Structure 1
Amino acid sequence: MIALNSPLKPNLKKLQKYLEQINNNGWYTNFGPMHNELTVRLEEYLGVKNLLLVNNGTSALQVAAKTLGTESILSTPFSFIATVSAFKWQKDEVCFADIDRSSYNLSPESVKTAYKKGCKADTIVATHVYGNPCDVIALNNIRDEKNVKVIYDAAHAFGIKIGNESVLNFGDASTLSFHATKVFHTIEGGAVVFKDKDNFEKAQQIINFGIQSTQGVINVGLNAKLNEYQAAVGLVNLDEMDNILEHRSNLFDVYRNGLKDIVELPLWHPQANANGAYMPIKLENPLQLQKVMNSLNKNDIQSRHYFSPSLDKIFVDNFNYGSPNSHHVSEGILCLPMHAHLSLDDVSKVMMVIKKTLS
C-alpha cells in the first residue's frame, strides 16, 4: 500500500540520549532545558524571533487570540476545522469570506468586500493552505487600513519563505502545528511566532496558568506548555529537516510537473518555496473526484478528500459573506500521498493511475 501519510520516525539512538538526560535532570516540563534548546534552535532554523512552544496547534491559535485580545474573526472556509473551532470554543464571533479561486487561500478582495458590507471582525485569520503562502502584502494593507489584527494559521508552512523572509514573520502572530502528521513534529505540539516581544511575554504567562515568575498570577491562563519528552523528539527530528524538506519538495515538484496538464493545481505564490507538506489536486466535479479515488483505492493507494466540506457548511450559525469558490474547490479537492518515506517510484505509480483514469 502507498500510504497517504507516514509520520517521520525519530532516530531512537539519538532520542535515547536525550531521554536519559531528562531523567537524570528530573525536569520533565515547565520550560526545561530541552524546551529551551528547541526554542533557540527553531528560531534559528526558521529565521524568526519570539517563538513560543505550546502543546498543540489548536492551543497555538487560542493562545494567539487571547494574547492579541481577539473577540471576533473573519476567516477562510477552506481549511482544517481547528482554524475556526479553536475560536468558537472561546466564544469568539466568527464570519467567513471567500477564497481566491486560483491559490485556494483567503481572498483579500473578499475580505475587503466583507468589511465594506459591515463586517466588524477585529481579527483576520488566514491559513497558508497546503503551505502555499497567502497574499500577505494585500492582507497587511487591509490590516493597516482597518486597524485590525492578522493571525496566520501556518500549520502547513514549516520552512516556507517568501523570498528570503520566513512566512512566519508576517501578521501579528503565526501559529504552527507539530502534530505527528506534519513535516516537522514533536508527536503533539505547536508554536506561536509573535511579531512583538510584549505579546510573546504575555503569552508566556498565559500558557502557564497566567503566572508571572516574580509576581504570581497576573492573568487568566491555561496549561499549554510543551513537555521535555516532546521537546526531545523535536530536537531529534530537527536534525533531519534539511534532508526531509529537500526530499519532500522534490517529490512535490515531480508531482506537479507530471500532473500539470492533467488536473488543476493550486497557483503557488510566485516568490515562495515549497515544503511538500501536502500534494493537492483539483478534479472537475464530485463524480470525477470519486472516479479517481476509486481507482487509487483499487491500486492500494490512499488519498483524502481534504478539505471538505467548506467550513461554512459545518458552522452554519455563523455569518457568511459568500463562499462560492470555497464550495467549488472543496467539492473537487483531493490530496495524494506525500511524506518523508515516499519514493519517486511511488509517485510515478500514483500519477500513472490518475492519468489512466482520466484519459
Structure 2
Amino acid sequence: MINVTRSYLGNKAKFLGYVDSIYATGWLTNHGPLVTELEERLRDYLGVRNIILTNNGTLALQIAYRALNLTGSAITTPFSFVATTSSLQWEGIRPIFADIDKATWNLDPKAIEARIEADTQAIVATHVFGNACDVETIAQVAQQHRLKVIYDGAHAFSVRYKNHSVFNWGDISTLSFHATKLFHTIEGGAIVTDDDALAARIRLLCNFGIVDTDIIDGIGINAKLNEFAAAMGLCILDDMALILEQREEIASRYEHQLGDHFDLQLQQADSQRNHSYFPIALTDETQLLRCRAALMDKGINPRRYFYPSLDTLSYVQPQIPQPESRALSRRVLCLPIYPGLPRHVQNTVIETLLKDSSHRSQPQAERIWPQVTAGWLVEDRANLSAPMCKRIY
C-alpha cells in the first residue's frame, strides 16, 4: 500500500557511525552530545534564537502552556490535528474555537475577537499543512487583548515568512519531529522562543525541574530527546535540500495537473511552503469517499486530514459550531507526497482523480479534448489518456 507519506531514513552508514559513537560513550540520554549538536544545527538552519528538543510534539505543546502559566481558556483552530486541542484540554485549558479562513484554511484572525471571553489568555494557531498563518494580524489581535500566542508548527519545518523563519512569530512555536514529518527524529519535537528567560524555564520543565544534582526548582516532567533519535535527526538534516526539492517537484506536478479540477489551499502572501502535505478539497464528502475508494482499490491510501472538525469532539462540548471548518473537513483529502514516490504512482493518483472529476462534473461532449500538446511535460506524453488531459485554452 502506498501511503500519504513514507519515513525518510537518510544514509544508513552515517546513522550507524553515530550509533558507534553512542556505544563508545555510553551516553544514551540526558542532554548528550548528539542532542546538543542537533539543537545547535537546527538553531542555525531555522534561524531562531532558542530551540529546545523534546521527545514528541504533543509534550512540546503542553510544556509551552505550562511555561506561559496559562489557565482559563484559549482561542484555537478547529481544523488541525487533534493534539492541538487535546493538549489544551489535558492541561485544564478550555479550548474555544474560532473558524478558519475559507481560502488559507488557517485560523481566521477576523473570527478571533468575537470568541474572546473573560478568562481567555492565549491564541493557539496552526500553520496548517505548512501554510503560514496571518501572523501579523494575529499579533495585532493578541497585543490589543493582551493574549499570549502559541503556534503549532508541526507542519511548518523550514517554512519562512518575509524571509525569516515563521517560528520567530508568537511567544512560542512548537514542532513535531514524528516519523511522518518531512524532518523527523523517529519520535520527537521541539519548542522555539526568542525569550531567553522563557527558554531557560522550558528546559527546566523538560527535565523534572532539575537545575543540577542537588537542586530541583519547581515541578517538571521528562520530555528529553534521546541520543539515537538525535542521530537520526542529524542524518536527515544533512539531506534537507534534497527532501525539499523532491517534495516541491511532486507538489508542482500535482498542482499543474489537478489545480483546475479541485480546490487547493491558498498560500499565505510573502511565505514559502515546504510541501509537507498535498491536500485537495473535493466537491463534497460523497466525492471524497468515492475518490478515496478508487485510489485504495489501486493500492494507494490517501488520508483525511483533518477529520472530524475539532469543534465536534465530545470532550470539548459545548461549542459554537464552526461552519467553515466543518464543511472543509468533509472535503479534504491528502495525496501521497514524499521523496522517492514513484512517477507511475503519481500518474495513477492524477489519472484516478481526474477520471472522477471529468466524468461527473462535465457533460460527455466536454470530455473530448482538443489535440493540443503544447505545455505538456515531455516525459508525460507517452502516458497521456483522455482523463489526464488538461484544458490550456
Q: What's the TM-score bracket when you normalise by the shorter of the two chains?
A: over 0.9
Instruction: Please say if 1:53 is aligned against 2:53.
Output: yes
Aligned amino acid, residue 83 of structure 1: T
After TM superposition, list the pairs within 5 Å mapping 1:122-271 onto structure 2: 122-213=121-212, 216-271=215-270
2:113 aligned residue: 112
Report the Cα distance in structure 2 between the residues aligned to 1:213 and 1:316, rounded to whole angstroms: 39
Residue deviations 1:166-213 (CA, integer Å, cap 9, x gap): 011100000000000000010000000013111000010011001113
Report the Cα distance in structure 1 between the residues aligned to 2:277 and 2:8, rounded to whole angstroms: 14
Could you tell me how far 1:54 is from its partner in structure 2? 0.3
1:22 aligned residue: 22
Question: Structure 1 pair 324/14, CA: closer, same or farther in 2 (3 Å)?
Answer: same
Could you tell me how far 1:109 is from its partner in structure 2? 0.7
Report the Cα distance in structure 1 between the residues aligned to 2:60 and 2:214, rounded to whole angstroms: 24
Question: Structure 1 pair 334/314, CA: closer, same or farther in 2 (3 Å)?
Answer: same
Report the number of matched residues. Answer: 357
Report the Cα distance in structure 2 between the residues aligned to 1:112 and 1:215, rounded to whole angstroms: 47
Report the Cα distance in structure 2 between the residues aligned to 1:123 and 1:250, rounded to whole angstroms: 38
CA contact (8 A) 1:98 1:324 kept: yes
Aligned amino acid, residue 100 of structure 2: I
Report the Cα distance in structure 1 between the residues aligned to 2:290 and 2:316, rounded to whole angstroms: 33
Question: Structure 1 pair 358/6, CA: closer, same or farther in 2 (3 Å)?
Answer: same
Moved more, 68-77 or 37-46: 68-77
Could you tell me how far 1:296 is from its partner in structure 2? 1.2
Residue deviations 1:75-94 (CA, integer Å, cap 9, x gap): 11110000111121111222
CA contact (8 A) 1:97 1:320 kept: no
Structure 2: 5+ residue stretches without partners? 359-393
Report the Cα distance in structure 1 between the residues aligned to 2:327 and 2:176, rounded to whole angstroms: 27
Give me the identity figure in percent: 42
Report the Cα distance in structure 2 between the residues aligned to 1:57 and 1:12, rounded to whole angstroms: 25
Q: Secondary structure at the match of 1:320?
A: coil
Report the Cα distance in structure 1 between the residues aligned to 2:161 and 2:343, rounded to whole angstroms: 27
Report the Cα distance in structure 2 between the residues aligned to 1:130 and 1:76, rounded to whole angstroms: 13
Report the Cα distance in structure 2 between the residues aligned to 1:201 and 1:321, rounded to whole angstroms: 38
Could you tell me how far 1:271 is from its partner in structure 2? 1.4
Report the Cα distance in structure 2 between the residues aligned to 1:318 and 1:213, rounded to whole angstroms: 43
2:44 aligned residue: 44
Could you tell me how far 1:316 is from its partner in structure 2? 5.0
Instruction: Please say if 1:305 is aligned against 2:304.
Output: yes
1:34 aligned residue: 34
CA contact (8 A) 2:174 2:190 kept: yes
Moved more, 87-96 or 141-150: 87-96
CA contact (8 A) 1:19 1:232 kept: yes
CA contact (8 A) 2:95 2:316 kept: no
Could you tell me how far 1:214 is from its partner in structure 2? 7.6
Residue deviations 1:295-344 (CA, integer Å, cap 9, x gap): 21222221111100001111454453441000100011111111122134
Moved more, 37-46 or 270-279: 270-279
Report the Cα distance in structure 2 between the residues aligned to 1:157 and 1:340, rounded to whole angstroms: 17
Aligned amino acid, residue 215 of structure 2: G
Aligned CA-pair RMSD: 1.4
CA contact (8 A) 1:114 1:321 kept: no
Residue deviations 1:128-155 (CA, integer Å, cap 9, x gap): 0000011000100011101110000000
Report the Cα distance in structure 2 between the residues aligned to 1:194 and 1:167, rounded to whole angstroms: 11
The alignment's TM-score, normalised by the length of structure 2, stands at 0.88
Q: Secondary structure at the match of 1:151?
A: strand
Moved more, 250-259 or 327-336: 250-259
Aligned amino acid, residue 7 of structure 1: S
Higher relative contact order (CA 8 A, sep 6+): 1
Instruction: Please say if 1:73 is aligned against 2:96.
Output: no
